[in-house]
């Protein structure tokens, strides 16, 4: 079990914080709005109403002792950057900060954020992929031309084993998992059989994955 602090409990921060709790972690949620704090007080391990721009406030939470601190302040870019700077100055090793734009992300990296997330941009990519292909269920961008994709096994794969399909040689993609209802075969071997309604999780180049999903 880890311990995390989430600063800013808007839609993104609240979702991060409550998901961390459901994954079994201890979570401190901080927001300057008393209302936001009250809404989540029963769900989170600790919740506090405070302005994160105040360094003494951050110190008083013992931010250094958390496994990670998420800066989920959105519109107020000044508060978002200042909070990140102060967390870094206070010696927080793992700072995950939400950025609005690429430039904002670069600034956050310079001032000490260890990981930058772009929730709106990432969700846009996911939604576009889902819309463009009805069989693609989930999508993680690894680089501009490589991804991990979860998709419904196409008819051309049904009834065949991975050994027979030889996807690595034919398409240059690797199957990470086959999901069969509630069962999941992780790193399936050559004998792994693909059946109707299976979901495949694959890693590879985008154009190769596109060919596979069709």
Residues that bind ligand ATP (CB under 6 A): 7-13, 30-33, 36, 51-53, 73-76, 79
Report the residue number, 5 or 173, with the smaller CB distance to ligand ATP: 5
Rounded CA gap, 47 and 144, in Å? 38
The distance of closest approach from Cβ of residue 123 to ligand ATP in the complex, given in angstroms and rounded to an integer, is 11
Report the residue number, 10 or 188, with the smaller CB distance to ligand ATP: 10
Tokens representing 24 are 């079994």
Report the residue number, 50 or 185, with the smaller CB distance to ligand ATP: 50
Q: 192 Cβ partners below 8 Å, 6+ apart?
A: 161, 162, 175, 178, 185
Distances (CA, A) of 117 to 9, 72, 91, 123, 163: 16, 9, 21, 11, 38
18 by Cβ neighbours in 10 Å (0-12 / 13-18 / 19+) ranks as middle
Closest residue to ligand ATP using C-beta atoms: 74
The distance of closest approach from Cβ of residue 111 to ligand ATP in the complex, given in angstroms and rounded to an integer, is 16
Report the residue number, 117 or 212, with the smaller CB distance to ligand ATP: 117
The distance of closest approach from Cβ of residue 59 to ligand ATP in the complex, given in angstroms and rounded to an integer, is 15
């Amino acid at each position: 079990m880890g311990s995390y602090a989430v600063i800013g409990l808007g839609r993104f921060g609240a979702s991060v914080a409550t998901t961390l709790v459901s994954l079994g972690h201890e979570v401190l949620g901080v927001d300057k709005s008393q209302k936001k704090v009250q809404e989540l007080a029963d769900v989170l391990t600790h919740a506090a109403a405070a302005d994160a721009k105040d360094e003494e406030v951050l110190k008083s939470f013992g931010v250094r002792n958390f496994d990670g601190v998420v800066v989920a302040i959105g519109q107020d870019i000044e508060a978002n950057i200042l909070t990140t700077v102060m967390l870094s100055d206070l010696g927080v090793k793992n700072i995950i900060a939400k950025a609005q734009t690429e430039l904002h992300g670069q600034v956050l990296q310079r001032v000490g954020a260890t990981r930058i997330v772009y929730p709106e941009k990432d969700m846009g990519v996911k939604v576009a992929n889902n819309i463009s292909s009805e069989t693609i269920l989930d999508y993680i961008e690894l680089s501009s031309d490589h991804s991990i994709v979860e998709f419904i096994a196409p008819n051309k794969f049904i009834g065949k084993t991975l050994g027979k399909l030889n996807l690595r040689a034919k398409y240059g993609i690797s199957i990470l998992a086959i999901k069969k209802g509630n069962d999941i075969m992780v790193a399936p071997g050559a004998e792994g059989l693909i059946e109707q309604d299976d979901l495949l999780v694959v890693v590879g180049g985008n154009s190769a994955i596109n060919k596979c999903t069709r």
